[in-house]
Amino acid sequence: MPLSDTIAIADLRVARLGFGSLRITGSGGLGEPDDPEAARAVLRRAVELGITLIDTADSYGPEVSERLIAEALHPYPEGVVIATKAGLVHGAADRWRRNGHPDRIRAGCEGSLRRLRLERIDLFQLHAPDPRVPIEESMGAIADLVAEGKVRHVGVCNVDEAELERADAVVPVVSVQNRYNLGHRDSDAVIDRCERDGLAFMPWYPLGRGALAGAGGGLAEVGRRRGVTPAQVAIAWLLARSPAMLPIPGTSSVEHLEQNVAAAALVLDDEELALLA
């Protein structure tokens, strides 16, 4: 079933289910995928199914995800929004390391523009606050990019309420991307703030890196009742949590992509929601 429900991100309107592109890169988000053409096929199928927000980052690969997106989708169909990020890099032992220095943020944006073949990024996000750099300095670099016409709208990721307030004081924030799923609900207060102020909330790892897809308990029970997978129930639960919610499940499989999209039409009743509470 094509996606029909939409959500506003400032003056952009996108389908209420997006696609997270970390999984189209190599293992652990590093390097090339085993089958680059299959990765491009997933991206093309996502758009065919009505997904209009593709989320990526310069650190995915690094640089691999953005390049594959451009190869698969450029020139981008009308209404498709590419959201990318800067401020997170791969460090030693394949660990993510935060780098919010203004020069790094600017370099990340310039590189993303080239790889994505864009003149302006519709949604550019600070990937994570850097404890060594005041968030005001990181966001100031993004504000400069907005003023230069290289960024249209600004989002933040991995923030608490206080960090969101500080970021928004520098440049208007239109979206937040934090870890959130049935098993990790630490961002409830941030979601409530997004709903109140008209921001989109994009939960990363909405399926808990796949752990929830095979989970038992309420997920399995609701799935059995409805004849759907636990992963589909988990996505439906997120959509029911708040009108601000914009899940971005990622996958390297067309089959799983199609299952994720089908989950957007699954409406849970009060009894089912209580089982998952």
Confirm if 21 and 47 have CB atoms less than 8 A apart.
no
Cα radius of gyration (the chain): 18
How far apart, in whole angstroms, are the C-alpha atoms of residue 66 and residue 137? 25
Q: Which residues contact 131 (CB under 8 A, 6 or more apart)?
A: 98
Structure-token match 């589909």, residue found:
232
The helix/strand/coil state of 43 is helix
Residue 60 is among the residues annotated as catalytic for this protein:
yes
Pairing of strands 19-20, 53-55: parallel
What does the chain come to in residues?
Answer: 277
Confirm if 127 and 86 have CB atoms less than 8 A apart.
yes
Q: Which residues contact 262 (CB under 8 A, 6 or more apart)?
A: 1, 228, 232
Which residue in 60, 76, 180, 205 is the catalytic one?
60
Catalytic residues: 60
